[in-house]
Every structure is written in C-alpha cells, then in structure tokens.
Amino acid sequence: MTKLCVAWIAAAAAMAAASMAQAQQAPGVGGGKILIGQSAPLSGMNAELGNDIRNGALAYFKKVNEAGGVHGRRIELATLDDVNEVARAEANTTELVEKTGVFALFGYASATLSRPALPTVQKHGVPFLAPFTGADPMRAFNRYVYNMRASYADELERIVGHFTASGIRRFAVVHYDDAVGKENLNAVERALKDHGLAVVSTAAFKDRANPDIGSGLKQVMQGNPEVVIFTTLYKATADFVKDARKAGLAAQLVSNSFPGPTALAKELGPYGAGVGMAQVVPSPSRRSVPVVLEYQDAMEKLGKSEFSFTSLESYIAAKVMVEALRRAGPKVTRASFMQALDGLRGYDAGGYLVSFAPGNHNGSSYVELAVMGKDGRFNY
C-alpha cells in the first residue's frame, strides 16, 4: 500500500471520527433541523391538555420555521401519545431519546408523567424543558430540567393569601393520595400556618382514574369549610364541584392550575360559574399583552381558532426554548444550549418574564387568580 493511500485512509478516518464526535455532541441536530421530543396525552383522559400543549408549541415553531428557522435549521416536534399513563410516558421517553435521538424533551403534561423521564434525562444528559407542572418534586434543582412556570406552592400561597385577606379562616383541600398530592396539601398547610390557621378537612383520592367523589365530599363537608381548594385533574374536580353544588355546599370553590382551565370549564358547563382558579400566564384573550397578541396570530395561522391558557403557556415556553437555541449559536450542542438557558436573565417574551441561573432552573413565579363566568370564560 502506497504512502499516499495510507495518508488518504488516515485522513478519511480522522474526518469520520470528527463527524462522529460532532454527532455525539448534538443528537437531534442535522439535516437542516433540530428535533425536539414530547410525550403527551393526545388521547384518553386529559387529552385536551396534551393537545393544547402540543398545539401551542407547534404554533410558535411554525412561526419560527416560516421565518427561516434557527440558524437555518427548522424546529420539529416529535410527539408520542402516552394516553396519560405513566408506563407509556416512560417508554415514550426511552424511545425518543435512545431510538429517535431527539435533542431535548419538552412539554410533558404533569409531574406523574414527567418524573419517570428523569432517569433517562440524567443518563443521557438530555435537556428537559417546560414540564407542565408546578409540583415540588419537579422543582428540586436538576441541571437538566428547566421549569418555565410558577410552582403549585406559589399558586396555593396566592389562593390562601387572597382569601385570608378577606377574613376567611376555614379551608378544606381536595388532593390525590400520592407524592404530588401530598406535596400540594403540605403547601396549603404551610401557607395557612403563616396565618395561624390549619386545614379543617380534606378529601384524599387514592385512585386517580376512579376517585370516590361521594365519600370525598362527605369528608370535606364535615369541616364546614368556607373555601375548598382543589388540586385534582379536571374530571375529578368538575365531578366534585357538581356534587357539591347539588349538596348545597356554600363554600367558595377554587382550584390550582393543574386541571387545565379550558378542560375544566368545558367539563363544568353551567356549574362552573363562580369557580376560582389560579393561572400561571396572562389571559389568552388579553390582547394588550404583546405575547398574547402574537400567540393568537400564530394559533390562527396554525388553523386553531380556540385559545387557551395551556396553549399560551406552551407557546411562551417554546419561545424561550428557541431564544436559547439562537443564543447557543449555529454549532449548538446540548451543553451550549443549557449554558444559554442558564444565561437568560429577565428574558421578556412579550410581557412575560423568564429568568434562569446556573443554580436556579425555575423560570417564573407569575400567578393570577381568575373566576369563571356563566359563559365559561375567566374574569380577573
């Protein structure tokens, strides 16, 4: 074999090794695109929430892609349906990361669906953005996880503060009898303790799929509460509210953002009038907020005429993600992307501020309280 041939082979091997190293540095980046992975309930229980999350992100990615993408690359979202089942979400994560080779994960619909993804995220060093939850277990610092929204504790403290300022003293809590549900109960208890108060009664549902609403309502009513705080999914919350109305419970009924406002309003129908809810983004109808106006236009271009808090939250989260991709530069890697996220200080997405730091991946504490009207719309 000639020296020239040997040199050519060595050069080719070096180029191949360099190419392979680059591919290893940036999974999901190539072919003129950046591939983002998502597991979400697109069917079954909680499908409306999952589809809203997906549509909000797609609306922003479409806007970006039509403007030339990010450093010439299109943003693509690969979504797998988990039917709101933990085992499916876990399997979807493995498939997205280890088989599909996505660059990052985005927009899982709850803490129970997000937490099983964490071992895979940790193992492969995958950035995980905007899990749609404010649960404490997902707020503990993880170098790969970036929360875009306020915590449930922030929401529950705001709820308690609002009503105690009006002289209300008797609070009940409806929650799931699991790790996340107990954290929500603890958050209310901490907030009440600051006012010298304690929870007067609770309903703890062991079965998320088939909660015993009747027994839960009896347990709550035994405490004669003035306010009942819900931290449950929209179907359980709506069923409880309907039965409470029929039973003559006079307490103010208010939920954290977990059920998803659009889904809850639809499920409640006329029973929803007067029900309160914490929101972690501005109203999707408040066109005076720049990002809301932008979001509405993008949703309409996606062919979606119905606006929701959830899809707006996802739109904002997608906008933050794309901003970090821009700042990471054309030779983006997961490491440079996370470094760009860590450098976002007071990023204004259009009337909604998000800030991260190397030791703080909880981007916002924005909370507003709203009340549902007879038409299912939320008023502030």
7 inside domain: no
Burial readout 108-144 (b: 16 or more C-beta within 10 A, e: otherwise): bbbbbbbbbbbebbeeeebbbbbbbbbbbebbeeeeb
Average pLDDT estimate for 292-309: 96
- Residues 163 and 237 reside in one and the same domain: yes
Contact assessment for residue 272 and residue 264, using Cβ atoms and an 8 Å cutoff:
yes
Q: What is the CATH number of the domain that holds 320?
A: 3.40.50.2300
Residue 148 has phi, psi (to 5 degrees) of -95, -20
Higher pLDDT, residue 331 or 377: 331
Q: What is the C-alpha to C-alpha distance for residues 199 and 174, in angstroms, rounded to an integer?
A: 11
Average pLDDT estimate for 65-79: 98
Q: What is the C-alpha to C-alpha distance for residues 316 and 60, in angstroms, rounded to an integer?
A: 8
Higher pLDDT, residue 218 or 8: 218
Structure tokens at 301: 């271009």
| pLDDT tens readout for residues 242-289 | 999 999 999 999 999 988 888 899 999 999 999 999 999 999 999 999
Average pLDDT estimate for 353-365: 97
- Residues 220 and 209 reside in one and the same domain: yes
- Residues 143 and 181 reside in one and the same domain: no
List Cβ neighbours of 301 (8 Å cut-off, separation of 6 or more): 59, 62, 63
372 inside domain: no
Look at residues 255, 279, 303 and tell me which one is the last residue of a structural domain. Answer: 279
Q: What domain count does the chain have? A: 2
Q: Is the pLDDT of residue 58 over 60?
A: yes
Domain containing 124: what range?
31-150+288-365
Average pLDDT, the chain: 92
Q: Is the pLDDT of residue 13 over 50?
A: no
- Residues 156 and 261 reside in one and the same domain: yes
- Residues 179 and 215 reside in one and the same domain: yes
- Residues 297 and 223 reside in one and the same domain: no
Contact assessment for residue 316 and residue 300, using Cβ atoms and an 8 Å cutoff:
no
Burial readout 242-268 (b: 16 or more C-beta within 10 A, e: otherwise): bebbeeebebbbbbbbbbbbbbbbebb
Confidence of residue 24 (pLDDT cuts 50, 70, 90): low
Q: Is the pLDDT of residue 9 over 80?
A: no
Structure tokens at 351: 């009337």
Least confident of 17-21, 224-228, 268-272, 276-280: 17-21
Q: Is the pLDDT of residue 22 over 70?
A: no
By CB atoms closer than 10 A (0-12, 13-18, 19+), residue 212 is middle
The pLDDT score that the predictor gives to residue 313 is: 97
Q: Is the pLDDT of residue 8 over 60?
A: no
- Residues 308 and 339 reside in one and the same domain: yes
The pLDDT score that the predictor gives to residue 23 is: 43
Q: What is the C-alpha to C-alpha distance for residues 107 and 130, in angstroms, rounded to an integer?
A: 5
Long-range (24+ apart) CB contacts under 8 A made by 292-300 are: 292/350, 292/351, 294/350, 295/56, 295/59, 295/60, 298/59, 298/60, 298/62, 298/63, 299/55, 299/56, 299/59
Structure tokens at 328: 């990471």
Average pLDDT estimate for 170-193: 94
- Residues 292 and 143 reside in one and the same domain: yes
Structure tokens at 345: 């200080």
- Residues 220 and 321 reside in one and the same domain: no
| pLDDT tens readout for residues 195-213 | 999 999 999 999 988 999 9
Least confident of 43-52, 273-282, 294-303, 328-337: 43-52
Q: What is the C-alpha to C-alpha distance for residues 362 and 57, in angstroms, rounded to an integer?
A: 19
Q: Is the pTM of this model over 0.95?
A: no
Average pLDDT estimate for 41-70: 95
Look at residues 279, 309, 324 and tell me which one is the last residue of a structural domain. Answer: 279
Percent of the chain with pLDDT over 90: 85
Strand pairing report for 104-106 and 33-40: parallel
CA dist list (Å): 96 to 78, 112, 369: 8, 18, 36
Look at residues 279, 303, 329 and tell me which one is the last residue of a structural domain. Answer: 279
